[in-house]
Amino acid sequence: MTTVIQSPAIDTGILAIARSALVETAVKTGAVIVNYSNAISSVFDLKDVNGNVIAKWYELDGKDKKGIKAERALFANTLMDRDEKFIKSIDKDGKRTPTATVDTYWQRVKEASGYVPSGRVSGSNDVDTKTAAELKTMINRILKSEEDGQECHASTIVKTLKELHVVLTGEAYNAKK
């Protein structure tokens, strides 16, 4: 059996170079995402006559969302043109489907514009806020199963969970909030 001894000096140097390259790229990527997000906001945010934002681009729907959908398609196609690793599949007509990585990048652009994904707690990240959000998720899950006609033991504690929600938030449970 041969024992291989690695030189810490060489490994440390290689790691330092690789780490620096990654950090530099990550920092630049964050800045580039913010710049792209700002550009999208300047073009697609709805503004009143005084230039005040009435609706962010990621909140738009219907005909107001048409430009965003086109930009999203251009974004995905540009990534797929740049590197085949962003292509999940190609159908018989030659239409390409992007990978989930493309969706992840688009999500980062939205978040850089201020979008807060559902299920994530915005604002304070303290234990009580997170616990209240998780309680709400549990309550919603139980109520949904009841609506679907499923019987579950958790139905017996839903009232208690709602009371705990009041203790943590100071507000009665509201499914729409």
Is the pLDDT assigned to residue 145 strictly greater than 70?
Answer: yes
Is the pLDDT assigned to residue 10 strictly greater than 60?
Answer: no
Q: Domain total for the chain?
A: 2
Q: Who's near 39: CB < 8 A, 6+ residues apart?
A: none
Is there a single domain that holds both residue 23 and residue 80? yes
pLDDT band at 155 (very low <50, low <70, confident <90, very high): confident
Q: What are phi and psi of 17, to 5 degrees?
A: -65, -45
In a domain, 155, yes or no: yes
Is there a single domain that holds both residue 50 and residue 27? yes
Return the minimum-mean-pLDDT range out of 41-45, 74-78, 101-105, 135-139: 135-139
pTM of the model: 0.58
pLDDT digits (tens, 9 = 90+) for 30-86: 889 999 999 999 999 999 999 899 999 999 888 889 999 999 999 999 999 999 999
Burial of 113 (0-12, 13-18, 19+ CB in 10 A): buried
In a domain, 94, yes or no: yes
